Structures are given as structure tokens and as C-alpha cells.
């Protein structure tokens, strides 16, 4: 994290110039401005253009400073998240709980969220699990509510009945705590309670 926001990087792509990608990303992140703030501060060089109605996605200098410091911590953070994910997977897969594939020979996840899907439960049962976990001091979440279930999108005419797959992926989803401040004891406590509560359904 950079407190709020993030950074984007890429591996060089054969046949595509890195500088070309960089310039395109600058346009996308700076309202489509043809010059960044630093370029506009050079003597007599204030003139700029907006070449497309794009986005405001650049981070502040303060967040950039936090991000640079976080880069030094990042390998350790990834390692700890992977340890927790592997312990969760080992505990939950035998119960038939569906989990995301965070790691294989083709990709490595940042371990941002630990998403589970408990088979054959209703939305009410999912909510009951979350409440019981909360009663034991464990904050769970749901990622994410499909857009057609939210008022802004309902008001535009979207109906969740038209998106059965999105609904089915949402209705039994529970996100467990996953962050680097969890101790091994915390992880054991989460595992034991989740297993117990799910098994009692």
C-alpha cells in the first residue's frame, strides 16, 4: 500500500517500446495532459494540451514516498501473506471449501484477499457464518457485491436476475482476514473457528 492508491509496472514487451508505454500511462493518469507538472515548471514551458478526456490517477509525492519505503518491505510482506494462504489452503481444501488459486507455475498473487466459497449454502447461512465469526472476534467480509445489486445500478435498470453467474459467485463467498500483522496464533484461531462454524451448518 501507498496509504491510498498504488503503482503500476510492466515487463518489457517484445515489439513495443517501453517509452511508448510510459507516455501512454502518463496520459491516462494525468487527465490526458501532454506534459506532467514537472515539465510545466521548466522556464517558459507552461504550455500544454489535453489530448483526450482521460483520468486523474497519479499519486501525491507523499504517497510516492510511502510507496518507495514499502518497496523495501514488499518481499517480506509477500512471503508472510503466502505463508498464511498456504496454511489456510491446507486447512480448508479438505473440507471442500473453494479457494482461489494464488500460486502456480504461471503466476504469483499479491495475496491481497483470501476468498472462500462454502459449497451449498444460502446467503442467510453465509451471513450467519460471518456473524458467528464476528462474535469470536474475527472480522470477515464479502468481496464483492455484484453491481446489479447496488442501488446506483438498479436505478440504471440493471437486474441481478440477468447475471446468475455473478450472483452464484457472490452468495456463498466469505473473505477471511489476510494481513501481515496476523500472528501464527491468530491464523490458528481463525482456522479453528471457521472450520468449526462451517462444519456445524
Q: What is the pLDDT of residue 29?
A: 86
Co-location of 94 and 49 in the same domain: no
pLDDT for 89? 97
Residue 55 belongs to some domain of the structure = yes
pLDDT of residue 87: 98
Q: Mean pLDDT for each 10-residue chunk of the chain (201 residues)?
A: 81 94 89 77 79 85 90 95 98 95 94 96 97 98 96 97 97 97 98 96 83
At 37 the pLDDT is 67
**Alpha-carbon distances, residue 150 vs 156, 157, 160, 162, 179 (angstroms):** 10, 11, 9, 14, 28
Residues 44 and 98 in one domain: no
DSSP 3-state of 191: helix
- Predicted confidence at residue 18, as pLDDT, reads 96
Q: What's the domain count of the chain?
A: 2
Domain boundary among 27, 59, 91: 59
CATH, residue 144? 3.90.1150.10
Q: What does the alpha-carbon distance between residue 46 and residue 95 come to, in Å, rounded to a whole number?
A: 63
54 is a domain residue: yes
Residues 127 and 95 in one domain: yes
Asked whether residue 90 is domain-assigned, the answer is yes
What pLDDT sits at residue 99? 96
Pairing of strands 114-117, 98-99: antiparallel
Could you give the CA distance from residue 96 to residue 1 in angstroms, rounded to a whole number?
Answer: 32
Within-domain flag for 66: no
Cut 0.95: pTM above it: no
3-state DSSP assignment of residue 104: strand
* Residue 68 in domain: no
Residue 143 belongs to domain spanning:
75-199
Regarding whether 177 and 85 lie in a shared domain, the answer is: yes
Amino acid at each position: 500500500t501507498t496509504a491510498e492508491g498504488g503503482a503500476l509496472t510492466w515487463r518489457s514487451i517484445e515489439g513495443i517500446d517501453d517509452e511508448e508505454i510510459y507516455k501512454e500511462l502518463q496520459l491516462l493518469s494525468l487527465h490526458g495532459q501532454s506534459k506532467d507538472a514537472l515539465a510545466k515548471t521548466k522556464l517558459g514551458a507552461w504550455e500544454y494540451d489535453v489530448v483526450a478526456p482521460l483520468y486523474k490517477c497519479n499519486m501525491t509525492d507523499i504517497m510516492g514516498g510511502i510507496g518507495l519505503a514499502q518497496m523495501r518491505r514488499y518481499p517480506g510482506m509477500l512471503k508472510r501473506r503466502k505463508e498464511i494462504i498456504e496454511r489456510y489452503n491446507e486447512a480448508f481444501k479438505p473440507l471442500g471449501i473453494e479457494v482461489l488459486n494464488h500460486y502456480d507455475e504461471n503466476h504469483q498473487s499479491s495475496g491481497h484477499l483470501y476468498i472462500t466459497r462454502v459449497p451449498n449454502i444460502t446467503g442467510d447461512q453465509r451471513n450467519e457464518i460471518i456473524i458467528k465469526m464476528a462474535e469470536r472476534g474475527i472480522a470477515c467480509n464479502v468481496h464483492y457485491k455484484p453491481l446489479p445489486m447496488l442501488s446506483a445500478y438498479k436505478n440504471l435498470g440493471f437486474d441481478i436476475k440477468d447475471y446468475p453467474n455473478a450472483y452464484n459467485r457472490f452468495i456463498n463467498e466469505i473473505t477471511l482476514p489476510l494481513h501481515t500483522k496476523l500472528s501464527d496464533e491468530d491464523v490458528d484461531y481463525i482456522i479453528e473457528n471457521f472450520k468449526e462454524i462451517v462444519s456445524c451448518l
